[in-house]
Amino acid sequence: MRPVFSAFAAALQPAFEAADADVASKATEARNLATLQNFYEIVGRRDYQALGECLTPDMAFEIFGNQDLPSSGTSGFDNVVSALRENFDAVQPSSPVVESLVIQGDQAVLIATDRGAYTATGQAYYLRFILELRFRDGRIAHARQWLCSNMDA
Protein backbone atom coordinates (compact mmCIF):
# COMPACT_ATOMS: atom_id res chain seq x y z
CA MET A 1 0.00 0.00 0.00
CA ARG A 2 1.22 3.45 -0.83
CA PRO A 3 0.07 5.46 2.19
CA VAL A 4 0.55 8.75 0.34
CA PHE A 5 -2.42 7.88 -1.85
CA SER A 6 -4.57 7.15 1.18
CA ALA A 7 -3.74 10.57 2.63
CA PHE A 8 -4.32 12.16 -0.79
CA ALA A 9 -7.73 10.46 -1.05
CA ALA A 10 -8.67 11.69 2.44
CA ALA A 11 -7.68 15.26 1.52
CA LEU A 12 -10.23 15.30 -1.30
CA GLN A 13 -13.20 15.59 1.07
CA PRO A 14 -12.18 18.87 2.77
CA ALA A 15 -11.14 20.33 -0.60
CA PHE A 16 -14.57 19.49 -2.00
CA GLU A 17 -16.35 20.96 1.02
CA ALA A 18 -14.29 24.17 0.93
CA ALA A 19 -15.45 24.94 -2.58
CA ASP A 20 -19.21 24.84 -1.97
CA ALA A 21 -21.33 25.99 0.96
CA ASP A 22 -24.24 23.82 -0.26
CA VAL A 23 -22.17 20.64 -0.42
CA ALA A 24 -24.44 18.68 1.95
CA SER A 25 -27.34 18.84 -0.51
CA LYS A 26 -25.46 17.45 -3.52
CA ALA A 27 -25.89 13.68 -3.80
CA THR A 28 -24.44 13.31 -7.32
CA GLU A 29 -21.32 15.23 -6.40
CA ALA A 30 -20.90 13.26 -3.15
CA ARG A 31 -21.16 9.98 -5.08
CA ASN A 32 -18.54 11.17 -7.57
CA LEU A 33 -16.26 12.30 -4.74
CA ALA A 34 -16.52 8.82 -3.19
CA THR A 35 -15.60 7.31 -6.56
CA LEU A 36 -12.54 9.55 -6.87
CA GLN A 37 -11.44 8.70 -3.33
CA ASN A 38 -11.93 4.99 -4.06
CA PHE A 39 -9.83 5.34 -7.23
CA TYR A 40 -6.83 6.69 -5.30
CA GLU A 41 -7.26 4.09 -2.54
CA ILE A 42 -7.25 1.27 -5.12
CA VAL A 43 -4.20 2.69 -6.91
CA GLY A 44 -2.46 2.99 -3.53
CA ARG A 45 -3.09 -0.72 -2.90
CA ARG A 46 -1.95 -1.53 -6.45
CA ASP A 47 -5.15 -3.54 -6.83
CA TYR A 48 -5.62 -2.42 -10.42
CA GLN A 49 -8.29 -4.95 -11.38
CA ALA A 50 -10.50 -3.49 -8.62
CA LEU A 51 -10.64 -0.32 -10.71
CA GLY A 52 -13.78 -1.80 -12.25
CA GLU A 53 -15.50 -0.37 -9.16
CA CYS A 54 -14.77 3.16 -10.31
CA LEU A 55 -14.07 3.13 -14.07
CA THR A 56 -16.57 2.57 -16.88
CA PRO A 57 -15.86 -0.25 -19.38
CA ASP A 58 -15.23 2.34 -22.11
CA MET A 59 -13.15 4.66 -19.92
CA ALA A 60 -10.62 6.83 -21.75
CA PHE A 61 -7.78 9.05 -20.53
CA GLU A 62 -5.36 11.53 -22.01
CA ILE A 63 -2.28 13.23 -20.55
CA PHE A 64 -1.02 16.52 -21.97
CA GLY A 65 2.18 18.42 -21.27
CA ASN A 66 5.77 17.51 -20.55
CA GLN A 67 5.89 14.23 -18.74
CA ASP A 68 8.07 11.15 -18.48
CA LEU A 69 5.40 8.49 -18.08
CA PRO A 70 5.07 5.38 -20.27
CA SER A 71 1.50 6.12 -21.42
CA SER A 72 -0.09 9.39 -22.44
CA GLY A 73 -3.54 7.96 -23.03
CA THR A 74 -5.73 5.12 -24.19
CA SER A 75 -9.30 3.86 -24.00
CA GLY A 76 -11.15 0.71 -23.01
CA PHE A 77 -11.04 -0.73 -19.51
CA ASP A 78 -8.25 -3.30 -20.01
CA ASN A 79 -6.04 -0.85 -21.91
CA VAL A 80 -6.61 1.87 -19.33
CA VAL A 81 -5.84 -0.46 -16.41
CA SER A 82 -2.62 -1.58 -18.10
CA ALA A 83 -1.58 2.02 -18.83
CA LEU A 84 -2.41 3.18 -15.29
CA ARG A 85 -0.35 0.31 -13.87
CA GLU A 86 2.61 1.29 -16.08
CA ASN A 87 2.33 4.96 -15.16
CA PHE A 88 1.86 4.54 -11.41
CA ASP A 89 4.57 1.85 -11.22
CA ALA A 90 6.97 4.25 -12.99
CA VAL A 91 6.89 6.70 -10.07
CA GLN A 92 7.27 6.63 -6.31
CA PRO A 93 5.18 9.56 -5.14
CA SER A 94 6.16 10.92 -1.78
CA SER A 95 3.93 13.90 -1.13
CA PRO A 96 0.88 14.47 -3.33
CA VAL A 97 -1.08 17.52 -2.17
CA VAL A 98 -4.63 18.51 -3.12
CA GLU A 99 -4.73 22.22 -3.93
CA SER A 100 -8.39 22.37 -4.95
CA LEU A 101 -11.28 20.22 -6.07
CA VAL A 102 -14.52 21.32 -7.69
CA ILE A 103 -17.26 18.84 -8.53
CA GLN A 104 -20.35 20.01 -10.37
CA GLY A 105 -22.75 17.28 -11.38
CA ASP A 106 -20.84 14.62 -13.31
CA GLN A 107 -17.74 16.74 -13.94
CA ALA A 108 -14.81 17.38 -11.61
CA VAL A 109 -11.60 19.40 -11.75
CA LEU A 110 -8.78 18.56 -9.36
CA ILE A 111 -5.62 20.65 -9.04
CA ALA A 112 -2.73 19.07 -7.16
CA THR A 113 1.04 18.79 -6.85
CA ASP A 114 3.27 15.79 -6.29
CA ARG A 115 6.87 15.16 -5.41
CA GLY A 116 8.61 11.85 -5.69
CA ALA A 117 11.12 9.88 -7.71
CA TYR A 118 11.05 7.91 -10.93
CA THR A 119 11.25 4.22 -10.07
CA ALA A 120 13.76 3.25 -12.78
CA THR A 121 16.29 6.05 -12.21
CA GLY A 122 15.63 7.42 -8.74
CA GLN A 123 15.56 10.91 -10.29
CA ALA A 124 13.41 13.29 -8.28
CA TYR A 125 10.40 14.98 -9.79
CA TYR A 126 8.07 17.78 -8.76
CA LEU A 127 4.94 18.35 -10.77
CA ARG A 128 1.63 20.15 -10.75
CA PHE A 129 -1.38 18.69 -12.46
CA ILE A 130 -4.91 19.58 -13.42
CA LEU A 131 -7.18 16.57 -13.75
CA GLU A 132 -10.57 16.95 -15.42
CA LEU A 133 -12.94 14.03 -14.92
CA ARG A 134 -16.30 13.12 -16.37
CA PHE A 135 -18.44 10.59 -14.51
CA ARG A 136 -21.22 8.33 -15.73
CA ASP A 137 -23.42 6.34 -13.38
CA GLY A 138 -21.06 6.99 -10.48
CA ARG A 139 -17.91 5.84 -12.30
CA ILE A 140 -15.14 7.69 -14.13
CA ALA A 141 -15.81 7.66 -17.88
CA HIS A 142 -13.15 10.09 -19.11
CA ALA A 143 -10.07 11.78 -17.69
CA ARG A 144 -7.87 14.50 -19.13
CA GLN A 145 -4.76 15.51 -17.25
CA TRP A 146 -2.43 18.44 -17.85
CA LEU A 147 1.03 18.10 -16.32
CA CYS A 148 3.76 20.58 -15.65
CA SER A 149 6.68 18.45 -14.55
CA ASN A 150 10.13 19.06 -13.13
CA MET A 151 9.15 22.40 -11.66
CA ASP A 152 11.54 24.24 -9.40
CA ALA A 153 11.27 23.17 -5.77
Assign residue 71 the CATH number of its domain: 3.10.450.50
Q: What count of residues does the chain have?
A: 153
Domain, as residue range, for 134: 3-148
Q: How confident is the model at residue 95 (pLDDT cuts 50, 70, 90)?
A: confident
Closest CA relative to residue 134, chosen from 71, 75, 49: 75
Please give the DSSP secondary-structure letter assigned to residue 65. S
Task: Give the predicted TM-score (pTM) of the model.
Answer: 0.88
Domains of the chain: total: 1
Residue 133 lies in a domain: yes
Residue 56 lies in a domain: yes
Residue 53 lies in a domain: yes
Residue 118 lies in a domain: yes
Which pLDDT value is given to residue 142? 98
Residue 153 lies in a domain: no
Cβ neighbours, 10 Å, residue 106: 17
CB-facing half-sphere around the CA of 81: CA atoms within 13 A? 17
For 122-151, what is each residue's pLDDT tens digit? 999 999 999 999 999 999 999 999 998 766
Strand ranges, E, within the chain: 55-64, 73-75, 91-93, 97-104, 107-118, 124-136, 139-148
Ramachandran angles phi, psi of 103, nearest 5°: -125, 125
Query: Is the pLDDT at 1 greater than 70, yes or no?
Result: no
